[in-house]
Amino acid sequence: MNRNSKIYLAGHRGLVGSALLRRLQAGGYGSVITRSHRELDLARQEQVEAFFEKERPDVVFLAAAKVGGIYANSTYKAEFIYQNMMIAANVIHASYRYGVKKLLNLGSSCIYPRDAAQPLKEEYLLTGPLESTNDAYALAKIAAIKLCRFYNEQYGTDFLSVMPTNMYGPDDNFDFESSHVLPALIRRIYLGKLLMDGRFDALRGNLDFYGKSGKFAAAGEAEVRAELERHGIYTDRVVVWGTGNPYREFLYSDDLADACVFLMEKYEAKDIGEIINIGTGKDLAVKELARLIPRIAGYKGGRSLTPRNLTARRGSCWMFCACALWAGKKKWGWKRG
């Protein structure tokens, strides 16, 4: 990949995709193609084939996916496996058919077995049962990895698969039901602070912005409180799902984008093998996160852990990714953002 390459970035509005777009633009890549979901439905093969036939990109970054947190993954499994398998199959196959020189497939930490030893290593893939709350999404992501591997082996393509740890950053998903643990905690603590401070106009604005409904613009304080309490946000405390015991590793999205572009510039699929992890090698318990965020945000209320709700895998700490060392990065570490 070089600065004259014609690059198709799939999923440019998401957390990882938007970081990749910023990184490519800052790096002088002047020919980056993007399409919104309305313009191009990647789950529809005929649309994908027509797009690739017309645009003929040299390089593809596959960052598009249907994503969500524990609740969404465990509730809408059919949607998660169908949408993500179709997106991967359509984009990877079209990349082969229309001569894409290089492709980077973004995976997920959930591909590894629930009870895999820590820290997680690439060779642990498919060595045990998956976490049941997001197995549908994981299976789709594993299928994408295998597609890249088998196309490389059979057709001589250069399709890389990278597995980032838990991401956070600009353009993250803060929805109450579908967000991941870090953005979920950030929003809930933020709303808890607004409620404690009595800032109801800011609360109405936040609820309407993320709910996309506008129904809280003229809502009374009692209605706003009721909506917040429905999500475990009270004047004196914020309810945190689960026991708080699982450990998570976090990586800032712009740091991931740096690593992805570095790999695409310097390495081929044969150099890294079937998959490569990208992470910091450092993790912390969710309950520690639930203490850290209020301290940063200046929230003085309490946190209430609720073991009755869903709890995912006990830990997910990567082996420290070699590409971070290759790039000579010193900024890796989730507190940076």
Of 56-70, 142-156, 294-308, least confident by mean pLDDT is: 294-308
| Residue 103 contacts residue 57 (beta carbons within 8 Å) | no
The C-alpha torsion from 75 through 313 and 148 to 258, rounded to 10°, is: 110
Choosing from 8, 137, 190, 299, the catalytic residue is 137
pTM of the complete model? 0.83
Q: Report the candidate in 262, 205, 246 with the shortest Cα–Cα distance to residue 109.
A: 246
- Residues β-bridged to residue 233: 238
Residue 308 scores a pLDDT above 70: no
Q: What are phi and psi of 241, to 5 degrees?
A: -65, 145
Which residue has better confidence, 148 or 313?
148
Which residue has better confidence, 96 or 336?
96
Active site residue 137: yes
Q: What are phi and psi of 284, to 5 degrees?
A: -155, 155
Residue 147 scores a pLDDT above 70: yes
- Residue 303, pLDDT score: 67
- Residue 304, pLDDT score: 67
Please give the Cα distance from 261 to 2 (Å, whole number): 10
- Confidence class for position 324, pLDDT limits 50, 70, 90: very low
Please give the Cα distance from 292 to 187 (Å, whole number): 14
Residue 24 scores a pLDDT above 80: yes
Please give the Cα distance from 36 to 18 (Å, whole number): 12
The residues near 88 (Cβ < 8 Å, ≥ 6 apart) are: 62, 105, 140, 141, 143, 144, 147
- Confidence class for position 166, pLDDT limits 50, 70, 90: confident
**Average pLDDT of the chain?**
88
Fold for 7-171+249-282+318-336, please state it.
Rossmann fold (3.40.50)
Range 118-140 average pLDDT: 92
- Residue 330, pLDDT score: 37
